[in-house]
Every structure is written in structure tokens, then in C-alpha cells.
Chain A
């Protein structure tokens, strides 16, 4: 067995994407309830869009942007470590990169519905 010492910093990048996803999830869920309690869905800004919708979509965009930064940084780390193509070498950097993509997809899948679902009632 070949043992490799992996620094905590490299391990942390494996979690970074889903840390962004979970922070975005908590932020969106709580702002949704706060907005409904304050009646943001009845305040119209930008034509027919409610303040509630604008705030939620802005949070979604910030989450997707942050997730994209994690994807790019982990891709740069992976290339610097010699990784290329759809392989798991080097293992830690490749998993970090693929997890960042998975987290970005999950953010769009689980939070994207703020674009069209009814938010209050």
C-alpha cells in the first residue's frame, strides 16, 4: 500500500462546492420565509416582478456565480497537479473538481425553481 500524506487544504477543496451549495440553500430558504413575512411578494419593483422574486433570483445568481468560481479554481488546481481529461488522476484534485461540478448542478436543480414557483401563500 502506498500511503500519501494529503494536506487539510487539499481535502477542503473536495468539500468547497457543496459548502457553497449548503450555504446557498440555507440562505435562500430563510430569505424566502423572511420575505413572505415582510410582504415582499406584494411590493412590485422592475415592472411586474416582486421584490421577493428579485431578491431570491439575485441570491440564486450569487450562488451559481460562487459555485462557478469553485469549479474554475479546482480546475486550475487540477491542471497544476497534472490532471487532464475525464480521469481520476490526480485523485484528490480530480474529485474536488468533479464535486464542484456536481455541487453547481445541484444548486441549479434545487434552487433554480425560485425562477418560476409561487413563493408565498
Chain B
């Protein structure tokens, strides 16, 4: 019973509104794929080392067939080179996909302004601001992130990686939600004693409902 509880504890973070392992868009999917590659790579290496350790105890003659030089070159040079090259290649390919490069059909820009301790969101094509970020589902959106005071970080785990909000500087994060829904976000950089309360949500609407829903949200926050 206790063992089950201990095993279940690390799995508790695998789902829920802030889970990076439950991606809801392409950017978060790429990050989750990289995580799984790292996880299974690490698991395979852990298993390999465990097997070698067991063999050293129970079948030492199997290991002694290789010379010390072969162990050092094979295990210390060739194997790490293969493993690191594979992991670095995966990280580069997936990392390049996260970069908000110019597109033929440039995504709409929204503006995330961080304050101690809340967020305000503005839009290129609408007056006014909202307290939650409203986006159309099924299309990329570039979030321009900055801050009016200290450093914060914009993080919606199910949609994308995190990006810092730096005073006097604009960082751009490309997010996309596959389906309409509410995706929770947090400030991911400690920013004072209100840090843990600095939450927000990204609300993705069906494209046909988007403008009306956003107009209603702007009207609500203006009151």
C-alpha cells in the first residue's frame, strides 16, 4: 500500500491543468516529445548500467572478456558520443520548431504585460485590455511578453514553453491551441510575495466565436 502511494506520487504531476505531459498544441507537443526522448534515453541507460552492475556480481567472467582499454574507449568515449549526438540532434530539431520565425501568413500578435502581481493582455486589432488572454483556436498566435516592474515569466504549460518578461525588452512566444478550451498559466519566475497568486488563463475560442467573446471580455474588464 505504502509502495503504491510512493509510486503514485511522481505520477500525480502527469495530468491536470498545468501538465507539460498533456500538451494541447504543437509547441507544447514538441517539448513533450523531447521530454519523452530524454526520459526513455535515460531509462535505457539506467537499465544498461544496472545490467552491467549485476553482471559484475553474478557473471564477472562475461565482463572480463573485454580489456580495460576497451571499457574506457567503448563506455567512456564511443557510447557517450552516440548518446549525446542523438539527444543534441533531437533537441536542435525540436528547438528550432519553437522559434517564432516569420511566416508567409504572419500570426496575429497579442501583448502580455506583467505587473506585480497580475497580467494584462492587449491586442493588435482591438482597443482595450483583458485579464485573461483570448486567442482563436487552431492557429498560431505570437505573444509579445514584457513587464512594467521586475522580471516575470509567462508560462502556459499545455500550450508552450516559458518565456521571461524582462523590463524594457520584448520577448516573443508562439503559442497555438489545437482546440477551444481554457488553458491555465502561471508566472514562472519568482517576482515577490504575490508570485504564487500571479495566475492567468488562456481562453481559446472557435474562430467564428473569437471576436465576439473577446469583445465581451474587454467590456467586462473595462467596468
Contacts and interface: CB of A to CB of B under 8 A. Distances in A.
Decide whether A and B are members of one complex. yes
Interface of A: 109, 113, 117-118, 121
B172 A113 contact: no
Contact of A117 (B96, B100, B101, B172): B96
Contact of B99 (A109, A113, A118): A118
B101 A113 contact: no
A113, A117, A118, A121, most chain B CB atoms within 10 A: A121
A121 B92 contact: no
A120 B168 CA distance: 17
A103 B1 CA distance: 51
A121 B98 CA distance: 10
Nearest to B98: A121
Judged by DSSP, the binding face of A is loop
Contacts of B92: 113, 117
Contacts of B100: 121
B172 A118 contact: no
Contacts of A109: 84-85, 88
Judged by DSSP, the binding face of B is helix
8 contacts: A109-B88, A113-B92, A117-B92, A117-B96, A118-B96, A118-B101, A121-B99, A121-B101
A118 B93 CA distance: 11
B99 to A, nearest CB: 5
A112 to B, nearest CB: 10
Contacts of B101: 118, 121
B142 to A, nearest CB: 11
Nearest to B95: A117
Contacts of B99: 118, 121
A-B pairs, 9 with minimum CB distance: A121-B99, A118-B99, A121-B100, A118-B96, A117-B92, A113-B92, A117-B96, A121-B101, A121-B172
Interface in B154-212: 172
Nearest to A118: B99
Contacts of A117: 92, 96
B90 to A, nearest CB: 13
Given A118-B99, A121-B99, 11 more contacts: A109-B84, A109-B85, A109-B88, A113-B92, A117-B92, A117-B96, A118-B96, A118-B101, A121-B100, A121-B101, A121-B172
Nearest to A110: B88
A109 B81 CA distance: 10
A76 to B, nearest CB: 24
Contacts of A113: 92
